[in-house]
Chains A and B, each alone.
Chain A
Amino acid sequence: MSFDVSLDMAVDDHAFALEFASDAKLTALVGPSGVGKTSTLNAIAGLLRPRAGRIAVAGEVVFDSAAGVNLPPEKRRAGYVFQDARLFPHKRVSANLAYGARFAPAGGEIISQDEVVDLLEIGHLLDRLPSTLSGGEARRVAIGRALLSAPRFLLLDEPLASLDESRAETLLSLIERLRDELDLPMLLVSHSSAEVERLAGRVVEMTAPGPA
């Protein structure tokens, strides 16, 4: 099972529950805005603590409220590509890419920095600061940074949002390649049905709870 999730979440004033299990290589999480898709990714990454539930990724339990298990984010090793890229503003692209590598367990590397740079075509950006990158460039660097941290799974939050068509297509085929070439469970949040149809082996639909 790549993802086995059952959650009872409360974020600010919004509460929701979600349950799904998927053994697809890439699982898509879809639903209207504000339904809790990003919060679900945050809970799986360990950045948000659910009220109750159980989260297992690739067979490893990272959270289980009944058993008192709650691994901190650094032990879960999510390769999390945030929607806003979230690059470190004081570090150049090369240092952003290398950030996670120093914490990676020996032998956990799934891809080398040279390969990432080639694959994402970011060689010419290495000396730049994040504030000088376009949205698409920042997103590619963010993907590279996540891949280089020796992740055990990938969380992709709207990786193609607000990219022009040719850039989106490049990134789409890249995600396809990552899905096929790497042995990493991937969870994708997306609004685009075309994107979901092309990438996902399993679609989980989140719906807003009806009026109470």
Chain B
Amino acid sequence: MSEAEWTIVALSLKVSLVAVLVTLPTAYGLAWVIARRRFPGRMLLDALVHLPLVLPPVVTGWLLLIILGRNGAVGGWLFETFGLMLVFNWTGAAVAAGVMALPLMVRAMRLSIEAVDRRLVGAARTLGASPFRAFLTITLPLSLPGIAAGAMLGFARSLGEFGATITFAANIAGETRTLPLAIYTGLQVPGSESDVARLAIIAIVLSLGALLVSEWLVRRSQGTRAHVL
């Protein structure tokens, strides 16, 4: 790989990893609440979580711009209080990727939390565990395959994120130009077909690699019959 390609790949990996790691706890918390709690507004929460999945990504990017942009409600406050600006740099790309990955991560984790027999949690309680300890020792370890699957899906989704990223974080070489944005940019330039092909192959290898690695992790922890997807 050339140095320019390395920059793109390293940026893509950094953006996707940070997006997944930061989104993971939130996604798991939301998944647990939706799976286990019954409260008014649960449907609304579920719908909100799924919004990035059904909205055109450009619209999600635009909403992020409105909320988190330099003049946005939250973005303005972040800038004035911490001097933090999310647009036009890699953290913005990570935010866009994380938001787009959230629904897929919540779905995978929610399914695996729902699959944990609640009666096991009851058994743990009779044995002296507080609700939190029962969660830590029973629900969390038993939903580990869902966490792995969610992380994997989220990573793949982040790696491929385009619409929300280009709208919210823009397309700046070395800063927010991840693999898909680089491929798109290459397509605009006549004569760069081979560069585009190389980037596309790298994208395929990375995505496939992520799938294989997470499959291997799940099998190692859950036995050979377990699967990520």
Residue numbers of A with Cβ under 8 A of B are: 42, 45-47, 72-74, 76-80, 82, 84, 86, 88-90, 99-100, 102-104, 145-146, 149-150
Q: Of B120, B130, B137, B141, which contacts A74 at CB under 8 A? A: B130
Contact B126 A88 (CB under 8 A): no
Contact B142 A80 (CB under 8 A): no
A88-B137, A149-B128 known, 9 other contacts, Cβ within 8 Å:
A46-B126, A74-B125, A74-B126, A79-B126, A88-B138, A99-B127, A100-B127, A146-B127, A150-B128
Q: Which residues of the partner chain B approach A80 to less than 8 Å between Cβ atoms?
A: 123, 126
The distance in angstroms between the C-alpha atoms of A120 and B123, with both chains bound, is 20
With A86-B119, A103-B133 in contact, do A77 and B142 touch (Cβ < 8 Å)?
no
Contact B126 A47 (CB under 8 A): yes
Nearest chain-A residue to B128 (Cβ)?
A: A103
The distance in angstroms between the C-alpha atoms of A145 and B133, with both chains bound, is 17
Q: Which residues of the partner chain A approach B130 to less than 8 Å between Cβ atoms?
A: 72, 74
In this assembly, does B56 line the interface, its C-beta being within 8 Å of a C-beta of chain A? Answer: no
Q: Of A77, A82, A86, A89, which contacts B128 at CB under 8 A? A: A77
> Distance in Å from the Cβ of B53 to the closest Cβ of chain A?
31
> Distance in Å from the Cβ of B21 to the closest Cβ of chain A?
24
Q: Which residues of the partner chain B approach A42 to less than 8 Å between Cβ atoms?
A: 122
Number of interface residues of B (CB under 8 A): 17
Nearest chain-A residue to B141 (Cβ)?
A: A90
10 contacts between A and B (CB under 8 A): A46-B125, A46-B126, A72-B130, A73-B125, A74-B130, A80-B123, A86-B119, A88-B137, A99-B124, A99-B127
Residue numbers of B with Cβ under 8 A of A are: 119-120, 122-131, 133, 137-138, 141-142
Contact A86 B123 (CB under 8 A): yes
Q: Which residues of the partner chain A approach B125 to less than 8 Å between Cβ atoms?
A: 46-47, 72-74
The distance in angstroms between the C-alpha atoms of A130 and B21, with both chains bound, is 33
> Distance in Å from the Cβ of B195 to the closest Cβ of chain A?
48
Nearest chain-A residue to B130 (Cβ)?
A: A74
The distance in angstroms between the C-alpha atoms of A5 and B123, with both chains bound, is 22
Q: What 9 A-B pairs are tightest by C-beta distance, nearest first?
A: A103-B128, A100-B127, A73-B125, A80-B126, A86-B123, A149-B127, A47-B122, A73-B126, A74-B128
Choose among A74, A84, A149 the residue with the greatest number of B CB atoms under 10 Å from its CB. Answer: A74
Contact A90 B124 (CB under 8 A): no
The distance in angstroms between the C-alpha atoms of A76 and B138, with both chains bound, is 20
Nearest chain-A residue to B118 (Cβ)?
A: A47
Contact A89 B142 (CB under 8 A): yes
Q: Which residues of the partner chain A approach B127 to less than 8 Å between Cβ atoms?
A: 74, 99-100, 103, 145-146, 149
Q: Which residues of the partner chain B approach A104 to less than 8 Å between Cβ atoms?
A: 128
The distance in angstroms between the C-alpha atoms of A146 and B120, with both chains bound, is 14
With A86-B119, A86-B120, A88-B120 in contact, do A78 and B141 touch (Cβ < 8 Å)?
no
The distance in angstroms between the C-alpha atoms of A77 and B129, with both chains bound, is 10
The distance in angstroms between the C-alpha atoms of A49 and B125, with both chains bound, is 14
Q: Which residues of the partner chain B approach A47 to less than 8 Å between Cβ atoms?
A: 122, 125-126
The distance in angstroms between the C-alpha atoms of A191 and B168, with both chains bound, is 67
The distance in angstroms between the C-alpha atoms of A103 and B125, with both chains bound, is 10
Q: Which residues of the partner chain B approach A82 to less than 8 Å between Cβ atoms?
A: 119, 123
Q: Which residues of the partner chain A approach B133 to less than 8 Å between Cβ atoms?
A: 103
